[in-house]
Amino acid sequence: MRIDDFEQLRSEDLSTLPSAERRKFLKLGLAVTGIYLGGSVLSLTSVQNAYGSGGVVPEVGKYPYNPHYTMVIREKLCIDCERCKDACVKTNHVPAYGFRTTILEKRRSLSGDKFETTFMPVLCNHCNRPPCVRVCPTTATWKDEKTGIVVMNPARCIGCKTCMTACPYNARYFKEEERAVDKCDFCLLSRLSKGETTTACADACPADVRVFGDIADPASRVFKLVHSPETMVWVLRPETGAIPNIFYINS
Amino acid sequence: MKKILLLLVVGGCLFSGAVLFASGEVKEQEAYDEEAYGPEAPIVWVKPLEAVVFEHKVHTMDAGLDCGSCHDDLFEMENGVAEEKDDFTMETLYKGGYCGACHDGSTAFASNTRCTACHIGVRGHARLRGDSGSAEKSH
């Protein structure tokens, strides 16, 4: 179409819109706003069914797995001796460039040139709604039906690394030797399946920072730590909605 | 006349700044005497685990202890003797040995509190040695 022809065309801007049409549009906008406003002011949810948010700790008895393996990290006690990392590397043959668990450091400046340091052990959170599992195109990673552990089948992994991007905890790395993504499996292959009851990292910790166990069992230590009064329990990045299973406490 | 006045004002400002700066420096530089206060470089123990830091400055110059407070009853003067002993553990500290002699909760903070005040970890040790690169491993 030539530029001269364009100029002959009827304008489609607002000036040619009939006012009835404009009013109709305005009414539609008001109606939509009204519905939303009415909905939030005059909530249709009855008070009897409204519960306060229970926080990050699941309700007693509401664990999707049995045993439901979790780890409680008593953060303030961590001294970054990294024996857990060494034990993990040895047990699960982790190469030098990757990690299944690591220790992060927070430094808060105090008066003068002093710092208060907190070490934060991190690992796969074995989420109840794991983003890594959802994005895997080949179902090479999934939640173990019995224990809820997020496991990998390296043979099925095509190395697209989408799971690494999806993980909110940076808990996955690409293992060149296997041409597959590798991650913490709570030592399911290396220890739990061979009758051991705890992970290599928890076993190696000299300060009793990492407590591993079955939170579905009310007699377990993890259950008692998480469900004790006046204990502040938090998880990392709760806003992702992944429902992680690594709980942090300070007491 | 105006120019001279301006020069005086500017000069005055600069001079007072220099004086203030110098006085601040003098305040900070209270000389650390190694003879009186012990070695200035921090002592780092890597046994039984990596790593625990001890600074003479904090304990002598700042807290006012003298050499005899710890040497030679709690610690040998020679560096590295304590960490070779089997009883150089937190358990011994809780019973009043080594650092636990003062770090009992009444003289100084208890040894089972404020872990990271002394335990600087693998990362802290690397930072002390100046190779921050190794502490920031990435994949």
pLDDT in tens, B68-102: 999 988 999 888 899 899 999 999 999 999 999 99
Give the CA dihedral A84, A85, A88, A92, nearest 10 degrees. 180
Q: Under an 8 A CB cutoff, do A99 and B139 touch?
A: yes
User: How many contiguous H segments (helices) and E segments (strands) does chain A have?
Assistant: 7, 9
Taking the C-alpha atoms of residue A167 and residue A91, their distance in angstroms, rounded to an integer, is 23
Position A165 in a domain: yes
Residue A78 identity (one-letter amino acid): C
Largest CA distance in chain B: 81
pTM score, two decimals? 0.76
- Residues of chain B neighbouring A116 (CB-CB closer than 8 A): 116
CA proximity to B38, closest of B26, B55, B14:
B55
What are the phi and psi torsion angles at B126 (to 5°)? Answer: -65, -40
Q: How distant is the Cα of A116 from the closest Cα of chain B, in angstroms?
A: 7
Residue A60 pLDDT > 80, yes or no?
yes
Domains held by chain A: number: 1
B123, B137, B139: residue with CB nearest A80:
B123
CATH 3.90.10.10 fits B34-135, yes or no: yes
CA proximity to A148, closest of A123, A128, A168, A167:
A128
CA angle A195, A200, A205 (to 5 degrees): 130
Residue A175 pLDDT > 90, yes or no?
yes
A169 Cβ under 8 Å from any chain B Cβ: no
A-chain residue closest to B119, CA distance: A79
Taking the C-alpha atoms of residue A77 and residue A119, their distance in angstroms, rounded to an integer, is 8
The 3-state DSSP class for residue A45 equals coil
**Distance from the first to the final alpha carbon of chain A:** 76
A120 Cβ under 8 Å from any chain B Cβ: no
Q: How distant is the Cα of B11 from the closest Cα of chain A, in angstroms?
A: 33
A76, A82, A99: residue with CB nearest B122:
A82
Partners of residue A104 on adjacent β-strands:
A120
pLDDT in tens, A116-145: 999 999 999 999 999 999 999 999 999 999
Burial A31-48 (b: 16+ CB within 10 A, else e): eeeeeeeeeeeeeeeeee
A119, A173, A174: residue with CB nearest B116:
A119
Q: How distant is the Cα of B136 from the closest Cα of chain A, in angstroms?
A: 10
Position A191 in a domain: yes
Per-residue pLDDT averaged across A184-207, rounded?
96
Query: Is this prediction's ipTM beyond 0.90?
Result: no
Residue B132 confidence (pLDDT): 57
| Candidate from A108-117, A159-168, A213-222, B23-32 with smallest mean pLDDT | B23-32
Residue A180 pLDDT > 70, yes or no?
yes
The 3-state DSSP class for residue A133 equals helix
Half-sphere exposure of A123 (CA within 13 A, CB side): 28
Q: What is the DSSP string of A179-228?
A: TEEEE--TTTTTTGGGT--S-HHHHH-TT--EEEEETTSTTSHHHHHHTS
Position A138 in a domain: yes
A173 Cβ under 8 Å from any chain B Cβ: yes
Q: How distant is the Cα of A223 from the closest Cα of chain B, in angstroms?
A: 24
Q: Under an 8 A CB cutoff, do B119 and A79 touch?
A: yes
Domain range annotation of chain B: 1-30, 34-135
Residue A154 identity (one-letter amino acid): P
- Residues of chain A neighbouring B49 (CB-CB closer than 8 A): 79, 81, 83, 206
B49, B51, B123: residue with CB nearest A105:
B123
Residue A157 confidence (pLDDT): 97
- Residues of chain A neighbouring B123 (CB-CB closer than 8 A): 80, 103, 105, 119
CATH number at residue A240: 3.30.70.20
A-chain residue closest to B28, CA distance: A112
Domain that holds residue A223: 69-249
CA angle A38, A39, A43 (to 5 degrees): 110
Peptide bond before B48: cis, by omega within 30 degrees of 0? yes
Could you tell me which residues come within 8 angstroms of residue A41 by beta carbon, excluding any fewer than 6 positions away? none
Largest CA distance in chain A: 85
